[in-house]
Copies of this chain bind each other. A is one copy, B any other.
Amino acid sequence: MGLKLGTIQVYTGNGKGKTTAAIGQAIRAIGHGLNVIIIQFMKGEINYGEVIMAKELRNFTIEQWGRKEFVSKKNPLQIDIQLAQKALKRAKEVIMNKQYDIVVLDEINVAIDYNLIEEEEVITLLKTKPKEVEIILTGRGATPRIIEIADMVSEVKEVKHHYQKGVKAREGIEY
């Protein structure tokens, strides 16, 4: 079992569908017996449908490393920095120990952009990852170095969004 060759995928851009693309990729992989963990940066306590599903499904783990509240880009709290750094430490651990076939680092691009974690540390992790492990990075604002090191990069562009039409966040759709 497992992947012979794990690559690095990036889903970035300002449109809807980056995290769900990673979740869909996880489900596809689980169907074939692979083991997936999603490590969520800057997300916590929100009752996402995928978190409920992960509790039910074999081979699917989601860990949330964040607070419920939004993080301020200009003035992140010390707790936000600490949580993001713990998430990165956890990511290193599961990647280097090959504990999962696929490791999704959800919103990690934003955590870098907000200076919660060092880009350099993430680049080093990507460069030294075991070759069997697939890594998926999501979040808007992927840096040029992340894009350079990735094997596959999709930019999800917002053409239109229903928030513009006044549709509020709906359980089962937006979370």
Q: Which residues of A contact B (CB under 8 A)?
A: 3-5, 7, 9-11, 13, 15-34, 48-53, 101-102, 134, 147, 150-162, 165, 167, 170-173, 175
Once A30-B53, A152-B16 are accepted as A-B contacts, the answer to whether A159 and B172 lie under 8 Å apart by CB is no
Once A17-B156, A157-B157 are accepted as A-B contacts, the answer to whether A165 and B151 lie under 8 Å apart by CB is yes
Judge whether B154 and A7 touch: CB under 8 Å. no
**Copies per assembly:** 2
Report how far A52 CA is from B33 CA in the complex, Å: 10
Interface of chain A, main secondary structure: mixed
Judge whether B160 and A28 touch: CB under 8 Å. no
Q: Please indicate the chain B residues that have their CB under 8 angstroms from the CB of A160 in the complex.
A: 147, 150-153
Q: Please indicate the chain B residues that have their CB under 8 angstroms from the CB of A19 in the complex.
A: 24
Q: Please indicate the chain B residues that have their CB under 8 angstroms from the CB of A147 in the complex.
A: 159-160
